[in-house]
Structure 1
Amino acid sequence: MATTSIQDKIDTKIAEIALFADSLPAVVTLHDMRTGCICWMSPRGLKDIGVSLKELRALNAEEYYSRFFNEEDAKDYVPKIFGFIQRNNDDEILTFLQQVRFKATKDWNWHMSSVRILMRDDEHKPLLLIVMSFPIDSMHHMTVKASRLLEENNFLRKNFQNFDKLSDREREVLRLLALGKSSIDTASELFISQHTVEAHRKNIRQKLNSNSYYELCQYARAFDLI
């Protein structure tokens, strides 16, 4: 009886959202936290990704994300969503960038999505999550920034262990190197000898396994040294 009652409440909430969702400048998606699956998506979203609501409901969470979303940036925001759910905060809204693949094209389409808890069970646990996904025009400067952010996040994940080998002093030297400082300038700024700077630079290249100035700058950007 309790399960039916909860489902009735969910169906009522879906009906409420469905009345106006497709008039919004966003795709609305509802996640059933009992199963982790999608329980409803606005018609615009279903049309974009080319599936019926019945087909979408049959997918588990892993199938849903792997089929329609860029795996690389999902590695960044999916753990944040799990953390958001665990914090179980009524007032919190989580916003993130994601790339979605539409049926009509092989290209990724950038969206800015926001999620919040829409409904809870009798024990105050999250029951429904609502996600609103706003498309970002491909000509908009945000798509360039989002692509750059994704690239840096991917670089960070792949190279964290190498970067973690650097000492605090080596990170200072790397920062100044990425800023274009010469070994003489670096020595003066850090109050060390030029010979010591060169030794640090050699160690940095060995630990990061790179002699490329561009890649060393990637480390500095990805790990917020500059």
Structure 2
Amino acid sequence: MEIYSGPYLKVNYESDNNRFINSWKSSPNTTNEFKQELLHYLSALEKVNPTQIIWLQQNFTFHIDDPTKLWVEENILKPRFKAGFIKQDKDGYHPIAFVVGKDVLSHMEVMGVFDEPSPSVFNPKHFATEQEANDWLNKEFPYESDSNIRNTEITFKGLDDDGNAIIEFKESPYEISNTLKVIKSIIDENNFIKENIENFSSLTKREKETLQFIIKGKNNEQIAKEMHISLHTVRTHRNKVWKKLQITHLLDCLKYKSFFS
């Protein structure tokens, strides 16, 4: 039964399973369009109160930024969590399933809604196909992943018409959630390096050495001993590192770990 059909989002209801099946007819183009559809979706949730949810992301290409992720958490997820209809299972997951769409980067941002900038109140699972999502919600999921058996294949497929490299990544569909998280961390790290290489390159050799010790968790006294310099010199190096990297907090400093790996 169709519950809602908006410009972009369609919501169907399976009464037998008390389940919403949400699918994107097309992807919103702006943050406002995305938010408006989710507010209509929230109204549908409050009327029906389903206990299970499937999101079909095939046509979803909107990239969700961090402020929007926080908005979703505060205005959509937390109210439903407090309503108490979505219960956590014995493995710590809530009966919310996402089926990955073609735009993998967009789906990574969807995953980020539940992980970044801070953990969400809900813990969903991600699947390669709608059938797998249904099987899991129906408690008929017949697959067990063996972390000791890896059949990953990465193949270079050549260049597209614009000269971009095409890389094909093959992995067990039952590992798709973990695989996407790994890929996202690699992409995020690579983007961080690109965006901050100029600041990092401005550090002197000794400042980089100081930074590396800071990342390893060494305090000023330990750094002074390791580098055979005075505490005053360590403080000078540290202050220059902070200034050149334009950071104010130790957590920002730790992000530069990728430059030493």
TM-score, normalised by the number of residues in structure 2: 0.38
